[in-house]
Each structure stands twice: as structure tokens, then as C-alpha cells.
Amino acid sequence: MAEFCTAVLTEIEAVVQGTARDAAFDTLTASIGAAIVADRTLGGLCDWVEAEAPRPVDLPVEGAASLKAAVIPVVLHYSTADPLA
């Protein structure tokens, strides 16, 4: 039986707000990275998971503290017996 290797790109949206948003953002992204490193197979659902570097931006909010946000690209590698399943 043939085995097909597949890579799927997905994204995690990370958003923080407040006066200490830089520190909060760093903590959030570090915890996401630690969770991925702790289980690179997502409990056996994938062969390998890897995150790419986020590109943070500051988003102004009228009348409130601005947001710090980023999309964190995550690549899921897995194998399947049927590429259409």
C-alpha cells in the first residue's frame, strides 16, 4: 500500500492588548512555541509540527490601548494511505 506525505499550512492568530503588550506578546508566543516543542506530533495526529516566526504589528484602537498582533504560520506534516481521505 502506498503512503502519501502531506504538509498543510495553518495559522495561529496571536493578539494582546494593554500597556504591557510587548511583554505579554512575548510571553504568549513563547508559550505557543513551548507547546509545539513539547509535542511535535500533536499526540500522534501528525508526523511533525513546526512553527514559523511571527511578524508582529501594532494595531491602533481608537479610545483604547493598541493591539499587538501576529499570525504564526504552522506547518503540519503527516502521512496518509489515501491522499483524498
Q: Give the mean pLDDT of 2-27.
A: 94
Residues 6+ apart with CB under 8 A from 74: 9, 10, 11, 12, 36, 49, 50, 51, 52
Cell 499587538 maps to which residue?
Answer: 68
pLDDT tens digit string along 48-80? 999 999 999 999 999 998 999 999 999 999 998
pTM of the model: 0.85
